[in-house]
Chains A and B, each alone.
Chain A
Amino acid sequence: QVQLGQSGAEVKKPGASVKVSCKASGYTFINFYIHWVRQAPGQGLEWMGIINPSDGTTTYAQRFQGRVTMTGDTSTSTVYMELTSLRSEDTAAYYCARDGDSGSYYSDLWGQGTLVTVSS
């Protein structure tokens, strides 16, 4: 079954870091880029960045530059998104999503989301 399975909910204190995992199954991991998208409670979708799992190349949204790191592990078909210097505004559901690989960029397969709560 083609799917992306994400790690469980996290509660972090302001200033801490969080690392969310996204495990791919049912397809060839290195053939598809992975996007990360977040959604604050009651708010819209916000694109964070993209990683090429085959070589680890990344592109981040400018507003997250310096605070986000996306990595991949081909041995376990897993990508990770680490966000540092957390603040309350980072409380959100974080989604990984597979890129469609048709020459343009879009997300055709989504993980279930990981809720990250930042609270003192």
Chain B
Amino acid sequence: DIQMTQSPSSLSASVGDRVTITCQASQDITKYLNWYQQRPGKAPKLLIYDASTLETGVPSRFSGSGSGTDFTFTISSLQPEDVATYYCQQCDNLPQCSFGQGTKLEIK
């Protein structure tokens, strides 16, 4: 199974800050990495798929990059509504999917 290591596990930043979360796969997953946002008490929401493709309707302050085993998720200017837990996910071609442990993002 492919293991996903996400860091940090929690993060506190100020409104307007640039925020970065990383995700590392235990083996090469090429570009097949997704990012989700989950607000408290809600279902997850897709933000980015295939490492860098922004889902329709998602604000452009969210972005993703990377390939192979190392990936980065960035919020260019943190907004109050971005308080949530963020998860990376990989799915191979079987498919077998797995999530990172999550990053809880709070406002300072």
Contacts and interface: CB of A to CB of B under 8 A. Distances in A.
Interface residues of A, number: 23
B66 interface: no
A114 B99 CA distance: 20
A112 B96 contact: no
Given A35-B97, A50-B95, A112 B50 contact: no
A47 B102 contact: no
A104 B32 contact: yes
B13 interface: no
Interface string B42-53: 011110011000
Interface in A39-77: 44-47, 50, 59, 61-62
B99 A106 contact: no
Given A47-B97, A104-B50, A106-B91, A95 B44 contact: yes
A50 B91 CA distance: 11
Contacts of B96: 47, 59, 61-62
A102 B55 CA distance: 12
A45 B91 contact: no
B94 A106 contact: no
A44 B49 contact: no
B89 interface: yes
B44 A46 contact: no
A97 B91 CA distance: 14
Interface string A94-115: 0101001010111110111100
A105 B33 CA distance: 9
Contacts of A97: 43-44
B32 A105 contact: yes
Contact of A112 (B36, B43, B102): B43
Interface of A: 35, 37, 44-47, 50, 59, 61-62, 95, 97, 100, 102, 104-108, 110-113
Interface of B: 1, 31-32, 34, 36, 38, 43-46, 49-50, 55, 87, 89, 91, 94-102
